[in-house]
Amino acid sequence: MKFIVTGAGGFIGHHLVSHLKKSGAEVIGIDIKHPEFEQSKADRFEIQDLREPITTWKHLFEGVDDVWALAADMGGMGFISQNHAQIMTSNVMINIHTLEAAKLAKVKRYLYTSSACVYPTHLQSKTNVKPLAEDMAYPADPQDGYGWEKIYTEKMCQYYHAEYALDTRIVRFHNIYGPAGTWRGGREKAPAALCRKVAEAIETGTDAIEIWGDGEQTRTFCYIDDCVTGLQKIMDSGYNEPLNLGRDEMVSINELADVVAEVAGVKLKKVHVDGPQGVRGRNSDNALFQRLMGWSPAIDLKTGIAQTYPWIQQQVRMGSKSPT
């Protein structure tokens, strides 16, 4: 078997490459950068900007069985709330090109990584929110340019499936976290940002961390090992419609900070400051995934943070102070 992973230099793509290599498959990683923290296990790693015309790179898809399309210009709330035009332009180009290259090469299967950001913002206005099921995405009112691009590319995948017989899968991730992901620089997501803030507070002897907003906004978080297992199950399932991949252990950002502090063995004050917060509440309905796959992500938040925090603490100790 021969696989392509786009976005193989990023957080989930890097972990996915390591997982796929265990099966003995040949894996080609594609990205505009190498993984930041560890060497990729890909057999070949192509530095390629997927926004460029496919005539220069479509040959990479020849003879490929599965494409795992993870490349995206993305980040946490700080990044996606302020770069709508850049995000939509880059990601529409990346995904149209990748779908077209896969179609021309007649690849066997194609998995697209969408997001919980496709769900309508008006369904996420309370902290105690109803879990979002797959059929709640329409009428469309997604979160930010990032969510609009995701719902557009979901449709593109469905049209490529219907009209070109490309065997597509669509995964809607709900906040994936774990070691070896972005932890500073402005693109980091809440779990990594809070691990960094707690580790920095310990390093500098500070007794407080900053939280954007009142910290009562709610989310669910899925650990990277569960994410990779779930991805493999979806690819193997033959299911072509969008599918949530997340957990339903909903916590506020304040509670997430408490879990990180508990794992780090400290008590810290929370200083609430202005900052982008995204939707007020978000939870993942995982019933369809459970029914189809007979499996659900099982790693609870505290167990996952206990794996993630030491890695970020080590990065903080080794590296220079965060710019923010």
Nearest to residue 199, comparing CAs of 78, 303, 322? 322
Q: How far apart are CA 195 and CA 184, in angstroms?
A: 10
| Residue 176 lies near ligand NAD (rule: CB under 6 A) | yes
| Residue 218 lies near ligand NAD (rule: CB under 6 A) | no
Strand 26-31 vs strand 2-6: parallel, antiparallel, or unpaired?
parallel
Q: Which stretch binds ligand NAD (CB under 6 A): 18-26, 68-76, 122-130, 203-211?
A: 68-76
Give me the least distance between CB of 182 and ligand NAD, in Å please: 6
Active site residue 146: yes
Structure tokens at 78: 């700080």
Q: Which stretch binds ligand NAD (CB under 6 A): 27-35, 103-111, 135-143, 316-324?
A: 27-35
| Residue 33 lies near ligand NAD (rule: CB under 6 A) | yes
Q: Read off the amino acid at residue 85.
A: A
- Contact by Cβ (8 Å): 132, 285: yes
Out of 74, 170, 190, 211, the residue judged to bind ligand NAD by CB under 6 A = 74
| Residue 111 lies near ligand NAD (rule: CB under 6 A) | no
What sign does the CA torsion over 116, 119, 125, 129 have? negative
CB-neighbour burial class of residue 57 (10 A; exposed 0-12, middle 13-18, buried 19+): middle
Structure tokens at 198: 């707690």
Q: Which residues contact 252 (CB under 8 A, 6 or more apart)?
A: 127, 215, 216, 217, 218
How many residues form the binding site for ligand NAD (CB under 6 A)?
Answer: 26
| Residue 309 lies near ligand NAD (rule: CB under 6 A) | no
H-helix segments, 205-252: 224-237
Nearer to ligand NAD, 8 or 129 (CB): 8
Q: Report which secondary-structure segment, H or E, holds 173.
A: strand 167-173
Out of 3, 4, 5, 9, the residue judged to bind ligand NAD by CB under 6 A = 9
Q: Which position's Cβ is nearest ligand NAD? A: 10
| Residue 115 lies near ligand NAD (rule: CB under 6 A) | yes
CB-CB neighbours of 290 under 10 Å: 12
| Residue 13 lies near ligand NAD (rule: CB under 6 A) | yes
Phi, psi of 3 (to 5 degrees): -120, 150
Out of 19, 28, 31, 64, the residue judged to bind ligand NAD by CB under 6 A = 31
| Residue 58 lies near ligand NAD (rule: CB under 6 A) | no
Out of 4, 12, 60, 190, the residue judged to bind ligand NAD by CB under 6 A = 12
Subset of 145-174 contacting ligand NAD (CB under 6 A) = 173
Catalytic residue selected from 119, 146, 160, 177: 146
Out of 175, 244, 284, 315, the residue judged to bind ligand NAD by CB under 6 A = 175
Q: How far apart are CA 211 and CA 271, in angstroms?
A: 6
SS3 category, 211:
strand
Give me the least distance between CB of 290 and ligand NAD, in Å please: 20
Catalytic machinery residues: 146
By CB under 6 A, name the binding residues for ligand NAD: 7, 9-13, 31-33, 49-51, 70-74, 90, 94, 113, 115, 173, 175-176, 182, 189
